[in-house]
Structures are given as structure tokens and as C-alpha cells.
Structure 1
């Protein structure tokens, strides 16, 4: 999937102007306000009409609701607390059970309300809902922020397993260096809506070229100062 051009601007200012490829799994890293969330929303067609968006994307699949899955930062806000889990899927019963099995959940969770599940279980349900369609691209926006350390590791391991099993593309917005190392083959560093460095994750993290990247690695990943 080649994003040859993605431009987002207001009447007065250009907010994002980038191009990059997603050939496997890619991490999108940068300070708050660098353009990460705008990039995700542009791919999801969720930006307000007040913004001018120009996209030139070359892909072997059509970018639409059925081909893109999205895992939000806070899974608790993506489910209706007053609705049983089974009614939050838009697929048949057989498919529900298949994707629940993918995320290591028993089908009995379908009978429950979100308030009856743990945080880790809710995030797994959200992932299962995203996988219930035949997606080709999975977008993740800090998917472990709301979880404790144990659940965070479990979800990262699960996402990595799903990526390998289903052979889907991943664009992962995060500040968590451990999740980047585990899941993402490539990394993109954003600053003020522009890419200042990109390449293989191991290469960038071990020998960053830009001072900005070095500061992110030393500050963001170790001390978790910045947020999406």
C-alpha cells in the first residue's frame, strides 16, 4: 500500500504533508500535535469538512469500511455500555464465534454487557469486532493506553499473533517502544506534519540520525512524557 501523497490543511495552514508505504507493519511516532491522529482520521475519512484533504493512494484493495479495521485508544468509549456484546457485532453468529476464538475469548461473552467484562476482555472484544469484516488494513491508535502492564503485554502479543496469522497490514500509532519492537517492522517519525525520519524499526531505534528522533527515544519511550 503506497500513500503517495497525503495533505491535510486549513485555509491558513498546512497540517500534514507526507508520503509513505505500508508493506507490513508500520509504527507512526511523534509528539502530540505532530499529525499522527490526523493521518489515521484521514485514512478513515473521519476528518471534518472544514479541512481540505488531498490523498493519492495506490493499493490493491479499496479503502472503505469493510477493508479497514480500527482499534481506538480507549476501548470503553467504542462500545455501548447498555448493549449486550452480541448486538455490537455486525455479522452472523458463526463469524462472531470465529473472531472471538481469534482473540482468545469464549462465546459466552456475547451474552454479557461491557460492564461485566475486564478491561483486557473489552479490548479483545473491540479487536474481534474489527476483525469480523474481511479487513486488509488495521489501524491502531495507542491500543494499550488504558490497560495495566499485564494486559498491555497480552494485547501486544495478541496483535502480533493476529498480524502473522491473517497477513494484514498494520499502521500502529504508539509511544510504547516495547510494542514497536514486537510488532512493527518499519517506523515513521513525524514532526509538525512532516516525516523527518523513516526506515526499519531496529535501525532507527538503534542508530537514529535526527536529534528529534533521539529525543523521542530518550524521552517519549523511556519516560512517557508525550501522548498522542
Structure 2
């Protein structure tokens, strides 16, 4: 497994207000959990170097590899808006034709879909294609921003299973950003819980789900699961 990325300091601010102040590790598969407005998206944008120019970033990281577009893959929230609608799938990769076909097959898609436009694929197919495109380079870190939010329940589970399989087969770190703990309970080894831009709890996923330390974490868990048997 690729060595961990140690985010020693990630601070995002305006001239008048601190928005995010985090410190955590991306170790194997790590989930960043929090309600809307907690700072999840800003954290992702800072790692991707996509913060708006009006925000200040103080970022100190200890990583075994350089964080750039060649080493980081990104799976956005909505597959329907993440690709160019007027461009065939095959022209949205950044690799050889042979690798495109291999990646499509790797995510369970027929290579014939490379000749189609995004609007000719279902939501589940499109998100698989987005995942394949993210691996155009030999990435070392995969960032996921609520990757199943726009999908129906069947497609959601298919994508989660695919991501779980990819983790087993390929050597990369994962940072999975979501408010839905249910989507990461079988995928992510570690959880970082954030509220108002600060870490309030972090650790092993099973430990936190079975014994949350804060009322905020308990509320997140209770709002996600109807069946609490996993917490026993």
C-alpha cells in the first residue's frame, strides 16, 4: 500500500474569518465526514489546488509523492455534469487507446461505449466512465466528492462495490468525502469527522461507528442508519 499522506496543517480563511483548520492523515482509505457546510468541499478544493482566489490557504503536508494532476484522481459528485457533453467518452481520457479500452473493461463497461457521448450513458455507466477516466494516469491518491449522491440506489451500490474492488486491486490512497456514513462503512478503514471546519473526532471506522465520542458524530450516525445492528 502507498504510504500515507500526512496533512499537518490545512487552513483556509478570508480576510475576516477562518473557514477551515484541519490536521489529519490520509491512510489507505479514509473518509472525511460532516454535514453540509462543515468544510468538506473546501478541503478537497485545497488539495486539488482549486480554491477561489479570494480565499487564503496555509497548507503543510508530508507526502511520499508530489500532489499534482498526475498523481491525483478526482471523482466529482455529479457524473452528469463532470464530463463535456459534446465530446465522446474516448476523447475525455488522457492516455493511449489501448489503456482506455483496458480501463473501461476494468470498471465493467463495454469498450464500445467509448464511441458514445455522455448523454447516451445511464447514470451508473457514466459514473463508471468517470472513474475509469480518473485512472488515465497512474494515480497515487483518489479523491471522491459524494460520488453516489446523484445515483439511484442500485447504481449507488454498484459504484460502491466497484470502488471497494479497485482498492483491493490497485495501490492508491483514498479520501472519500461525504455526509453519508453508510456509503463508506465497508470501504474506508479510517474516519475523520469535521464540524465547522475543525476535526472533532477521528480514528478507526469500526471503533467510531460502534462507540462515537461526540453527540455530533452520534447524530450523523443516527441520521444515516435506520438499522443499528452494525453498532453492536
Q: Distance in 2 between matches of 1:105 and 1:220?
A: 30
Higher alpha-carbon deviation: 99-108 or 63-72: 99-108
Q: CA deviation at 1:219?
A: 1.9
1:21 aligns with 2:19: no
Partner SS state of residue 104, structure 1:
coil
Q: CA deviation at 1:133?
A: 0.7
Change beyond 3 A, Cα 1:164–1:37? same
Partner SS state of residue 18, structure 1:
strand
1:175 aligns with 2:197: no
Q: Distance in 1 between matches of 2:195 and 2:225?
A: 16
1:160 aligns with 2:164: yes
Equivalent pair of 1:176/1:221 in contact (CA under 8 Å): no
Change beyond 3 A, Cα 1:36–1:196? same
Q: CA deviation at 1:221?
A: 4.8
Structure 2 segments unaligned to the other structure (5+ residues): 228-232
Q: Which residue of 1 aligns with 2:109?
A: 105
Q: Which residue of 1 aligns with 2:129?
A: 125
Higher alpha-carbon deviation: 178-187 or 58-67: 178-187
Q: Distance in 2 between matches of 1:120 and 1:111?
A: 17
Equivalent pair of 2:74/2:142 in contact (CA under 8 Å): yes
Q: Distance in 2 between matches of 1:28 and 1:222?
A: 21
Q: Distance in 2 between matches of 1:209 and 1:6?
A: 24
Q: CA deviation at 1:157?
A: 0.4
Q: CA deviation at 1:88?
A: 1.1
Q: Which residue of 2 aligns with 1:226?
A: none
Q: CA deviation at 1:216?
A: 1.2
Q: 1:75 aligns with which of 57, 75, 79?
A: 79
Q: Distance in 2 between matches of 1:22 and 1:91?
A: 27
Change beyond 3 A, Cα 1:153–1:175? same
1:186 aligns with 2:186: no
Q: Distance in 1 between matches of 2:225 and 2:63?
A: 32
1:44 aligns with 2:48: yes
User: What's the CA shift string for 1:56-107, capped at 9, x where partnerless?
Assistant: 1001110000100000000111111111111111211011012112101111
Scaled by the length of structure 1, the TM-score of the pair is 0.95
Partner SS state of residue 215, structure 1:
helix
Structure 1 segments unaligned to the other structure (5+ residues): 224-228
Q: Distance in 1 between matches of 2:100 and 2:85?
A: 19
Partner SS state of residue 48, structure 1:
coil
Aligned residue pair count: 223
Partner SS state of residue 10, structure 2:
strand
Partner SS state of residue 44, structure 2:
helix
Equivalent pair of 1:175/1:221 in contact (CA under 8 Å): no
1:7 aligns with 2:8: no
Partner SS state of residue 77, structure 1:
helix
